[in-house]
Amino acid sequence: MDYADKRVLIVEDQRPFLLVLRGLLHDMGATEVVTKPSAEQALSLCRKRKFDIIISDLHLGSDKKNGFEFIEELRGKKLLKATSIFMLISADSTRPIVLGSIDRSPDDYLIKPFSQAQIKARLNRAWNKRQQLLPVFQALHDENEQRAQQQAEALFTANTHYRGTLAQILIEIYWKNKQYAKVNELLAQFDKDRHVLWIRIYQAKNLLKMVKLDEAKAMAESVLVKNRFSAEAHDILAECQHLANEGEPALKTIRQAIKISPYCVHRHVTACKIARKYKDFVLASESAQAIWQLSRKTLQQHANIWCEYIRSILDVAEHAEDKRTKNRYQQEALLAMQRGKFDEYLCRNNDNFDFLIYEQIINARVYSLDGKLADAKRSIVSSQDAIEQKYDAYPVFYAPDSIKVFFDLGEYDEADTLLRLVNDNHYAIENTLIQTDKLNASENQRQYMLHNKEGIEHYQAGDFDAAYLSFGQALHFAPVNTGVALNLLQCILKLISKNTTREPGLLNECRRLNALLGGMPMKTHYQQKFDDLKKEIKGFIGKAA
């Protein structure tokens, strides 16, 4: 490899090592070596110039983009050429860092300190691989998957030195198209190497995608016998246990995977999914926070990831066994909300996100958790009015918490309308907890609808005593539902008008409902109905009403 015509970029925040590394590249023949102390400065440069070789340290200063985030943004913004090689270097040789580095798929990863001979050998090897597989890498760079597949299949058939890399590229393409049989055919060509762990990992993943859980589980377990530190094998095993409804084993396995390799977003997404299903809200919160931290400075970070982190903290508070824990997590969520307002990455990259609206929604959740349902109702309705005024289509990041509050308040029609609205706008709510809440709310909703319907029938038949009981039961299952509260109030007024002694219990209930509805924002047709009742209410309970 001739370094004289290669443009090299070194990103290193420790100046002494930066100078040493630049000297090594010059000694290897490189004539154009540019250095930058941060990923941010390097990215700014890469927008103007393309480099053949980029060597970046992993740790580039506190609260600065690290090497993981640097390589993701280079790829995401197409700032690398198909021929470019990216080498990640670090003085940290701990297993989590090494596995996290491998997970980002740099062309190579080198641990400090290293010699000129070592870095030269690694760079030469990476460059030769790029050149040999350039037709495939160019097609992938151009996002031409069909051409990438054709080129990879042709090179694989030619029995090149890089069959393993080609196989892995092809498998990812086959998986996108659900061509699981082709994956099996491809892996079968490595039969003599069938005990190589990466092959067995891919076999296990393919079995999992085909929902052959027992076989996938057995394959993953066989990998763990050979290497108990295989985080991918733990991932596969946890997914199998999850799909087989083996809650405790799935939670234990995914925790072990995270312990081995904690810097993988996909692993934490899996952990959130499993933890929510089996109600381990602390694990779900920890992984939601990890996803946010790993995504915060990348192209992948957006408001719904941060919102998921906030709501996961409130989920812990909601399911806490004691008041102290509940209050601690509520305060943690509110503090995280305040920090988010001043987070430069969050503010800079999410122009469509309104912190004040989301704060109203979160306040509604907190009020609901504290049993302050009227306050929750006011806050959630105000937030939805603000959303309607600001946006043409309902933004997905507001939906899960809004829907949850509506379920908690017994405003089932509002929750269902919002679910349909979000789905009609081609958003999918993947929050398992919201789906669980919908299932849990379905019985309450059924009871509410049943009793409300009975109440209407009794009222229309003139049986106001029976209507009063039915509307009261409906309100029990939907505690601040505007419609049923108005129905009950209307029924009470009929009973009071028939009872010349004005029974105190009915008058007190009339006052309570009047106060509840009087301070609550409501839709136009509900407001009109309430306004029509006000004169009659005042006649019974006085001008103070």
Nearest Cα to Cα of residue 440 among 279, 238, 200 = 279
pLDDT digits (tens, 9 = 90+) for 442-489: 788 889 899 999 999 999 999 999 999 999 999 998 888 899 999 999
Q: How confident is the model over 415-441, as a mean pLDDT?
A: 63
- The pLDDT value given to residue 61: 86
**How far apart, in whole angstroms, are the C-alpha atoms of residue 528 and residue 512?**
19
Least confident of 72-76, 301-305, 444-448, 528-532: 301-305
Confidence of residue 543 (pLDDT cuts 50, 70, 90): very low
Token readout for 487 is 């129905």
Check whether 544 has a pLDDT greater than 50.
Answer: no
State yes or no: pLDDT of 437 exceeds 60: no
Query: What is the rounded distance in angstroms from the CA atom of residue 308 to the CA atom of residue 67?
Result: 25
Helix axes 399-409, 373-390, angle to 10 degrees: 140
| pTM of the model as a whole | 0.87
Lowest-pLDDT range of 141-150, 161-170, 292-301, 304-313: 292-301
Torsion of CA 534, 538, 543, 544, to 10 degrees: -70
Share of the chain above pLDDT 70, in %: 94
Q: How many residues does the chain have?
A: 545
**Owner of token pair 């979160």:** 362
Query: What confidence tens digit (pLDDT) does each residue in 349-398 have?
Result: 788 899 999 999 999 999 999 999 989 999 999 999 999 999 988 888 89
Q: Residue 488 CB: number of other CB atoms within 10 A?
A: 24
pLDDT of residue 393: 85
Chain segment 317-332, per-residue pLDDT in tens: 999 999 999 999 999 9
Domain annotation for the chain: domains and CATH numbers: 7-132 (3.40.50.2300), 354-430 (no CATH), 440-541 (1.25.40.10)
Please say if the pLDDT value at position 345 is more than 90: no
**pLDDT at residue 349, rounded to an integer:** 77
The three-state secondary structure class of 424 is helix
What three-state secondary structure class fits 538?
Answer: helix
Alpha-carbon span 162 to 165, nearest angstrom: 6
